[in-house]
Amino acid sequence: MFDFMIIGAGFAGCVLAERIANQLDKKVLIVEKRDHAGGNSYDYYNEDGLLVHKYGPHYFRTNNRQVFNYLSEFTKWYYHQYKILAYVDGQFLPLPINLDTINNLYGLSLSSFELEEFFEKVRTPVDDIKTSEDVVIDKVGRDLYEKFFRGYTRKQWGLDPSELDASVCARIPVRTNRDDRYFNDKYQAMPRYGYTKMFEKMTSHPNIHLLLKTDYKEIIDHISFKKMIYTGPIDEFFDHKFGPLPYRSLRFDFETLDQEYFQPVSQVNYPNDCDFTRIVEIKHATGQKHHKTTIVREYPAEKGDPYYPIPREQNRLLYEKYKQEADKLSDVYFIGRLAYYKYLNMDEVVALALELFEKRLNH
């Protein structure tokens, strides 16, 4: 008899398993379809001894001290300021767009104050912002939108920005100084020994049992448990009774090179050139020293593992139908990116899991 069956061994599932086992001294079974824990944050050492992020780069960052302190119980950190370039018009330019981006792109020598005036001149004001296109042209105008955003978004989502909810591009900053950090969060770091080691430590309590390569629906009638925590796709839980929720997926093309580094930063975006959206060289972010390097090209895909919920109004309405069904269940807790049909950063998932534990389980 298990007190909890947790479906999915990503951040939400592992954090809740750890809390339940350590704080409540109750038995937990984590059931995971894949052959490893860690969800999309899973990393591993390849045959050359290079630490690789299997499902694309996972740059940990947060302003939430509670989340950072909690995860610090299971890992030491390698502190790193993530930087990203975009290949535009034959140049590698800083992203988010900043003073150097504009000066190098257009051959100008503007000051920060002059750049504010520049943006004011080129922007296309939108009174009622509804789409991602509206967000970007309202900030930086149509030319920069075409050069940096439109092509990337169309590849990533299979839709034009004019067809996507404003939330997709709403979080993209634009700077008038030379700050070339992609994020401004207070805590920016990678688990020093990798995400997988962190998850192993998190789930090492004897009350936690991990069942890999297993679909929970195949075993649910054979294992006794009191309550369930579900972190998988919400539409899958209800057997797609209202129809499937659409997702975008990714295909990864890894290549190991006999050189120390391939590119100057961990990520280079290709908004208008090539079929892939970006090339990632995670070694920059992990701080690993090695005479070789592994890069990965990311190709957005229509089919495959569900990575990105597609933020459109019709999809939100479909999700609401499933949420109403979920709210009727008193012995199943739904949590996480797939259960919420919402793109969430890693720290947001950890915060939600800790909140669920404190408010609904810890009594």
pLDDT tens string 156-171: 999 999 999 998 888 7
> What count of other Cβ atoms lies within 10 Å of the Cβ of residue 49?
10
Domains, the chain: 2-37+203-246+310-361 (3.40.50.720), 43-83+181-191+247-308 (no CATH), 98-170 (no CATH)
Model pLDDT, residue 172: 80
DSSP 3-state assignment of 256?
strand
User: How much of the chain exceeds pLDDT 70, in percent?
Assistant: 100
In sequence order, the β-bridge partners of residue 257 are 293
- Which tens digits make up the pLDDT trace of 110-131? 999 999 999 999 999 999 999 9
Average pLDDT of span 339-352? 97
**pLDDT value of residue 208:** 98
Residue owning tokens 């580094």: 261
Query: Per mean pLDDT, which range of 20-24, 60-64, 172-176, 238-242 is the poorest?
Result: 172-176
pLDDT at 363 over 80: no
Tell me, what DSSP letter sits at residue 209? E
Average pLDDT over all residues of the chain: 96
Give mean pLDDT, residues 172-193.
93
* Cα(123)–Cα(116) distance, integer angstroms: 11
pTM: 0.94
Cβ atoms of 4 and 200 within 8 Å: the answer is: no
Tell me the per-residue pLDDT of 250-271, one tens digit each, with 9 for 90 and over: 999 999 999 999 999 999 999 9
| pLDDT greater than 90 at residue 40 | yes
Task: Extract the tokens encoding 95.
Answer: 């992203």
Mean pLDDT of the region 25-40: 97
Instruction: Please give the backbone phi and psi of residue 330, each rounded to the nearest 5 degrees, phi first.
Output: -90, -15
* Beta strand extents in 238-359 (DSSP E only): 247-257, 267-269, 278-280, 293-301, 308-309, 332-334
What are the backbone angles phi and psi of residue 310, rounded to the nearest 5°? -90, 110
Tokens representing 269 are: 């975006």
Nearest one of 36, 80, 76 to 58, comparing CA atoms: 80
| Mean pLDDT of all residues in 172-200 | 94
